[in-house]
Amino acid sequence: MTHPAPVPPFQIRALNADPDTLNQLCTLIIQTVANGESVSFMHPLAPADAEAFWAGSLAAAHRGERVVLGAWQAEQLIGTVTLLLDFPPNQPHRAEIAKMMTRLGHRGKGIATALLREAEGLAGQRGRTLLVLDTATDGGAAGLYEKLGYTLAGEIPDFALKPHGGLTGTLLYWKRLEQV
Ligand SMILES: CC(C)(COP(=O)(O)OP(=O)(O)OC[C@H]1O[C@@H](n2cnc3c(N)ncnc32)[C@H](O)[C@@H]1OP(=O)(O)O)[C@@H](O)C(=O)NCCC(=O)NCCS
What is the model's pLDDT at position 7?
77
Angle at 131 between CA 90 and CA 11, to 5 degrees: 130
Report if residue 160 sits inside a domain. no
Contacts of 91 (CB under 8 A, 6+ apart): none
Query: Is pLDDT of 156 > 90?
Result: yes
Q: Nearest C-alpha to atom 24 of ligand 1 is from which residue?
A: 141
Report if residue 170 sits inside a domain. no
Report if residue 2 sits inside a domain. no
Q: Nearest C-alpha to atom 40 of ligand 1 is from which residue?
A: 101
Report if residue 165 sits inside a domain. no
- Rounded percentage of the chain residues whose pLDDT exceeds 90: 94
Report if residue 154 sits inside a domain. no
Report if residue 171 sits inside a domain. no
Q: Determine if ligand 1 sits within 6 Å of the CB of residue 163.
A: no
The whole domain housing 27 covers: 11-128
Report if residue 50 sits inside a domain. yes
Mean pLDDT to the nearest integer, 149-172 = 98
Separation between Cα atoms, residue 162 and residue 175, nearest integer Å? 26
Q: Determine if ligand 1 sits within 6 Å of the CB of residue 99.
A: no
- 180 residue type, one letter: V
Contacts of 63 (CB under 8 A, 6+ apart): none
Domain count, the chain: 1
Count CB-CB contacts under 10 A for residue 22: 18
Q: Nearest C-alpha to atom 1 of ligand 1 is from which residue?
A: 141
What is the model's pLDDT at position 103?
98
3-state secondary structure of 174: strand
Query: Which CATH number covers residue 19?
Result: 3.40.630.30
Q: Is the pTM of this model over 0.85?
A: yes
Over residues 107-136, the pLDDT tens digits come to 999 999 999 999 999 999 999 999 999 999
Over residues 18-77, the pLDDT tens digits come to 999 999 999 999 999 999 999 999 999 999 999 999 999 999 999 999 999 999 999 999
Separation between Cα atoms, residue 120 and residue 89, nearest integer Å? 21
Report if residue 146 sits inside a domain. no
What is the model's pLDDT at position 26?
98
